[in-house]
Every structure is written in structure tokens, then in C-alpha cells.
Amino acid sequence: MSDPIGLAQVGVGYWGKNLLRNFTKLREARVLAVFDHEARVRDEIRREYPQLFQARNYDEMLATSGVEAVVIATDTPHHFGLAKRALEQGKHVFVEKPMTQTLAESEELASLAESRERHLMVGHLLLYHPAYRFVEDAVRSGKLGEVYYLYSVRANLGIVRQNENVLESLAPHDIAVAVAMLPGKALAVSAQGSAYLQPGIEDVCFTTIFFEGGALAHLHSSWLDPNKIRRLTVVGSEKMAVVDDLEGREKVRLYDRDLTIDESHYADFAGAISVRAGDIAIPRIDSSEPLRLECKHFVDCIRSGSSPRSNGSSGLEVMRILSGAQASLRNGGTVVDLRH
């Protein structure tokens, strides 16, 4: 067995602490250094991980002996600069979603990673989630028939961001899922939302993505909702699937239901449509923690040389759609063509 991959992590706050917990438990990796600008966070890390070297700044962290890869879990506005510096110094990079705040920045990072022959992986967690992977496999194997559309609801009361709107904060999860599950490329996008809590920072957004072949993805993202909801519905010509990530064990349900049209009765169109209601299946889903699977995938890709599932190209496609959605949001929901 080869030596563990040496890691360093910048940003160990709200979400970063979960990444650190998982990376420190991997036998295939060794976390060598961390850096966070908040004293409170540094004190917490010192108590929980006394063995870790706490760098005084990002440059010192990068220069730590043995560091081969950097994990970036800071606020989105800092992603580009931190990732660029790490790649320029020959480090592999795991960066939380969204990859950057602009499409141009993401394009530069992807190009830089390719030219330096370094891995660039974006933290699109749901691409590693066993429940979502199960439904994706069902879609790709044809079990659902032709996929007509999918819709997601990602809502709760808080956490409200100040440096990004709800579209940037929550929608990348579901955009990545839509790209993975729906056939063809995204052709256009429309987004409408409002800022009720902070001027100019939308806290609720409804996004529609139009794909080749007519498939649609509709995303509801909100920090301002009475219920915490994490649900995806995929509607196919033969079956339908629902993922409810807040369910304890029964996270996926497959509905053997569809509508059929008898073309011989088109004169009486209402009579030509019949509903077929079959069984509801609740498959057994792997209970592995998605974040652990994601972290292990990053390390395994460095060790094997294989490309991450959520690599720079994947992150770019999500950013292409997200950038178009932001433009639509700024222009009152106008449809933005993604083909240019």
C-alpha cells in the first residue's frame, strides 16, 4: 500500500469541520496542516485535533512539508484565489461548491488544473450520495423510461448568507443532479426570485432549466420556508422516483405509475388517456455517509490518477448553468440562451 496522501485544509468552520472530520478518518490520507482566519475556530480545532499543525496564514499552510493536495472550504468569494494559488504550486485541489463566483474564474481554474496536470474536484456532494446515485442508475438504465422532467425542493428557515444569494448557495447541488440525470446538454435557463431579508441578496429562487430533447428541471431554493425540505422527484414515461434525503431509512421510492394514450381514441382525447397505478417500491440504499464517500473519492483519484466524478469539466457545466440563471435573475426571469 502506498503512502497516505498529504492534505491541508483552509476553512474549518460550519461546513469545513465536517470535511476535516472525514478526511482525518481516511487511512488513505493524512491531514498535515489547517488554516482558518477565525480565532474561535482555531481554538476548537486545537482542542479537537491537537496533532494538527495550525498555520499562521495560507502561504505557510501551502508550504507545509508533505502537502500534496488542498481542501478549500471557505466562503465562495475566496474560492478562486485560494484554488489558483494552490494549483500554481502544484497541489491537487478539492474546492467546495460552487467552484467560483463567475464562469470566467471557473474556466481559468479548469484550464490551470489541466495545464499543471493536477486534479480539480468540486464538492457536488449529491453526486456521491447513495440515494441519488441509485436513482441516477435507474434513469441511465432505462428503468424509468423516457425522463420527462425532474423537480427539486431545497428549502429551510436559514442559514442566511451575506456573501452569496440562495441561488449560489443551494442550487448548485440540484443543478449537478439535473446535469447527471437528464439527457443532453442544458440549452437555456430562467430564474425568478426575491430578496425579502437583505437588499439585493435573494433568499428565494425558482429556476427552470431547459435540456435537449425537451426535458425540464425545475429547482426551488429557499432560506425562507417554514419547513426543511430536501426532496427530488424524477418523472419518466414508465416509472417515477422520489428521493427524500430527510427520511431516515426509506430515502427512495419508485412509483410504477404512468399515463398511457390510446391513439385510436384521439377524437375523444379525455377517453384516450388512462392512468396506470402500480406498486410502490422502497429499495434498500447503502447507508454510507455521502461526505465520506466524496472525500474518499478525491483521495482515491489522486492515488490512481483517474479523473474525479465532479471534476473541473463537471464543475464548469454547473457554473455555465448557474451563471445563466444569475443573469436571468437579474433581468426579471428572462430566458437565457446557454448555447453561446
- Kindly state the average pLDDT of the residues 153-169: 92
Would you say 112 and 80 are in contact if contact means Cβ atoms under 8 Å apart?
no
| Distance linking the first and last C-alpha atoms of the chain | 47
Contacts of 324-327 with C-beta under 8 Å, sequence gap 24+, read 324/188, 324/189, 325/167, 325/171, 325/189, 325/190, 325/191, 325/205, 325/207, 325/209, 326/167, 326/168, 326/191
Question: To the nearest whole number, what is the mean pLDDT of the chain?
Answer: 93
Q: Hey, which residues does 337 pair with through a beta bridge?
A: 188
| Residue 138 to residue 113: CA distance in whole angstroms | 33
Burial per residue of 296-324, b for 16 or more beta-carbon CB atoms within 10 angstroms, e otherwise = bbbbebbeeeeebbbbbebbbbbbbbbbb
Going by C-alpha positions, the residue among 205, 223, 103 that lies closest to residue 161 is 223
Query: For 54-101, what is each residue's pLDDT tens digit?
Result: 999 999 999 999 999 999 999 999 999 999 999 999 999 999 999 999
Residue 13 has what pLDDT?
Answer: 92
Residues 6+ apart with CB under 8 A from 89: 62
Which band of pLDDT confidence, cut at 50, 70 and 90, is reported for residue 306?
very high
Residue 291 has what pLDDT?
Answer: 97
Would you say 208 and 216 are in contact if contact means Cβ atoms under 8 Å apart?
yes
Q: Is the pTM of this model over 0.75?
A: yes
Q: Is the pLDDT of residue 274 over 90?
A: no
Q: Report domain extents, the chain.
A: 5-125+290-309, 127-289+321-337
Would you say 79 and 15 are in contact if contact means Cβ atoms under 8 Å apart?
no
Question: What top-level class would CATH report for the domain 127-289+321-337?
Answer: alpha beta
| Residue 168 to residue 132: CA distance in whole angstroms | 21
Residue 264 has what pLDDT?
Answer: 56
- Kindly state the average pLDDT of the residues 289-294: 97
Strands 224-236, 216-222: parallel, antiparallel or unpaired by DSSP?
unpaired
Q: Is the pLDDT of residue 110 over 90?
A: yes
Q: Is the pLDDT of residue 258 over 80?
A: no
Residue 340 has what pLDDT?
Answer: 76
Q: CATH topology of 5-125+290-309 equal to that of 127-289+321-337?
A: no
- Kindly state the average pLDDT of the residues 234-241: 95
CATH topology of domain 5-125+290-309: Rossmann fold (3.40.50)
Which band of pLDDT confidence, cut at 50, 70 and 90, is reported for residue 2?
confident
Residue 10 has what pLDDT?
Answer: 98
- Kindly state the average pLDDT of the residues 102-127: 97
Q: Is the pLDDT of residue 224 over 90?
A: yes
